[in-house]
Structure 1
Amino acid sequence: MGIAIGIIFAVIIIVQFIIGNVANGFIALVNIIDWVKRRKISLVDQIITALAISRIDMLCSTFLIVLITSLYPDLNTAVKMVKISNNIWIVANHFSIWLATSLSIFYFLKIANFSNYVFLCLRWRLNKVVSVTLLLSLVLLLMNILIMNMHIDTWSDGSKRNVSFGFRSKNCTRFFKLALLINTMFTCVPFTVSMVAFLLLIFSLWRHLKNMQYHAKGSRDPSTAVHIKALQMVVVFILFYTLFFLSLAIQLWTSESQEKNNLFYATLIITFPSVHSCMLILRNSKLRQASLLVLWWLLCRSKDVQTLVP
């Protein structure tokens, strides 16, 4: 990768980092203020708020890892920093992914329509389903942290025993490839759950539209509109989730000579928590109205400043 292309990707990462933090901070702030005012908060707002906070943590930890890998070509001097930043990223990425998966489960159970007894039981216990899903995911989080720390300790001990090992170039690349493999394996579970919920929601919508056509009610039925709105949210989520998942997986297939492409893959990874949060603001009526009020206030302030300037 040339210097110019590297600078371009670095600028994109910085822009996405700023946009993602502003968007997620805005989501968390609006929902927390509404929570304080109403003294209550819905389940979906709880999920979105926690998701926004976890994504801020994920963006910061990803940005930190990019800096570490750029500033420390010989990672022997930064073992502790690597372990801390990796643990922070694993925790942030875990909650970001699983909260987003819980959001897709929420839309599926809330909007889809099946007469299956298991589905109806899950719908009636929607709050418990989300809570149990997040609690069970903590087991995977613990396993992920333990395996990753064992991997880092083994890498560190090997470098201390053999100075020539050094973990430069190829060895450094192998370290990150194995770390990516571990994270990708643990990402497969929530990704599969989200895909299943997505496909079942599509099937529910298709069957619902077929029934509407049979009864000649048309596509303007309120239930159909709710189906389509939820489906749009899940489609956007799945697209960016797939992009995020592939950005992890593709790095495992690339050759070791392509380690300079890390900035490119970091750009793809940051896209998911940044752009998807912006889409959440646009598709959520409360967040969209709050964003319009902020934009209107900023526009009025800019006009006032212009009038004061001679």
Structure 2
Amino acid sequence: MKSALPSIFTLVIIAEFIIGNLSNGFIVLINCIDWVSKRELSSVDKLLIILAISRIGLIWEILVSWFLALHYLAIFVSGTGLRIMIFSWIVSNHFNLWLATILSIFYLLKIASFSSPAFLYLKWRVNKVILLILLGTLVFLFLNLIQINMHIKDWLDRYERNTTWNFSMSDFETFSVSVKFTMTMFSLTPFTVAFISFLLLIFSLQKHLQKMQLNCKGHRDPRTKVHTNALKIVISFLLFYASFFLCVLMSWISELYQNTVIYMLCETIGVFYPSSHSFLLILGNAKLRQAFLLVAAKVWAKR
């Protein structure tokens, strides 16, 4: 049974890979068609396109890393192979996480209603704020790549001097260095920002509902529905990424104790986030949901 586990996990990852490419590719395709036909595209649709492309890259990187780890582990020893795998993971995960966080900020600025002058200033300049945040994250990405490159170079120098060094432990040490920096700079920070956006959206919704009660209006007004949809998108991102983050962390810990089964299980569950969350984005977007139902109806009619 244990010998069959790699094949089972591989089949699951391939299934998640297909679902992720279809859902993210659907987002890109529908928005690009809309862009060509209308000659314009909203800011949220542009964010969804870039986020979907980054997730396609992340899914491909995870799949390639999985097969290399199973069948071509020696590639990680080479300096070029090690840098490519680590850098590609950092870059794809960076854009995947930060773009989803920026999407949460966009919903907050567009939907929430606060009387604070600072908030109103950001709300009126939401497009510039989003662009500045995105450009600012590139600075952190650049610094992260420089630091990781220094650790890789140091590890390779020690590895070449000691040919009898245990590979699994040295490999874990390299990744653990990357994890420590990535968790603080690229996981916890944007995750915290998205969580704050979620809390502010709840607070804004609460204020809106209180105002509706004072005006003797129901809770099903359009603004309440917009608040609720935004909250669903943000909370789904938080829950999915929390599971992804814990799986990545547990996979590295399992490498330390050389527990292959736990490592494969965590890697398999981790792919679920970039593959499935985009499907929820489709259901939460009116245009994408309508296009998806139309495609699904045509496919069903041909059966």
**TM-score category (smaller protein):** over 0.9
Deviations 1:137-174 (A, max 9, x none): 00111011111222221111111111122x42322222
Deviations 1:14-48 (A, max 9, x none): 11111001110111011011101000000000000
Deviations 1:190-239 (A, max 9, x none): 11111111111111112222222233212122211211111111111111
Q: Counterpart in 1 of 2:281?
A: 280
Q: Does 1:102 align with 2:107?
A: no
Confirm or deny: 8 A CA contact 1:72 1:78 kept in the other structure: no
Distance in 2 of aligned mates of 1:271 and 1:24: 13
Secondary structure class of the residue paired with 1:220: coil
Q: Counterpart in 2 of 1:64?
A: 64
Confirm or deny: 8 A CA contact 1:184 1:248 kept in the other structure: no
- What displacement does 1:254 show? 5.1
Letter in 1 for 2:178: A
Distance in 2 of aligned mates of 1:82 and 1:168: 13
Q: Counterpart in 2 of 1:307?
A: none
Q: Does 1:132 align with 2:121?
A: no
Q: Counterpart in 2 of 1:83?
A: 83
Q: Counterpart in 1 of 2:170?
A: 171
Q: Does 1:242 align with 2:242?
A: yes
Confirm or deny: 8 A CA contact 2:106 2:130 kept in the other structure: yes
Identical amino acids, percent of aligned pairs: 43
Q: Counterpart in 2 of 1:203?
A: 203
Where does the alignment leave 5 or more consecutive residues of structure 2 unmatched? none
Secondary structure class of the residue paired with 2:257: helix
Q: Counterpart in 2 of 1:222?
A: 222
- What displacement does 1:258 show? 4.0
Q: Size of the alignment, in residue pairs?
A: 301
Letter in 2 for 1:21: N
- 108-117 vs 239-248, greater mean Cα deviation: 239-248
- 69-78 vs 147-156, greater mean Cα deviation: 69-78
- What displacement does 1:4 show? 3.5
Distance in 1 of aligned mates of 2:79 and 2:151: 12
Distance in 2 of aligned mates of 1:75 and 1:236: 36
- 75-84 vs 204-213, greater mean Cα deviation: 75-84
Q: Does 1:156 align with 2:185?
A: no
- What displacement does 1:74 show? 4.3
- 73-82 vs 153-162, greater mean Cα deviation: 73-82
Distance in 1 of aligned mates of 2:219 and 2:16: 37
- What displacement does 1:96 show? 1.1
Q: Counterpart in 2 of 1:266?
A: 267
Letter in 2 for 1:112: A
Cα gap change, 1:69/1:276 in structure 2, threshold over 3 Å: closer, same or farther?
Answer: same
- What displacement does 1:105 show? 0.4
Distance in 1 of aligned mates of 2:131 and 2:76: 41
Deviations 1:119-153 (A, max 9, x none): 10000000001000000000111011111222221
- 90-99 vs 291-300, greater mean Cα deviation: 291-300
| RMSD between superposed Cα atoms in Å | 1.9
- With the length of structure 1 as denominator, give the TM-score of the two structures: 0.90
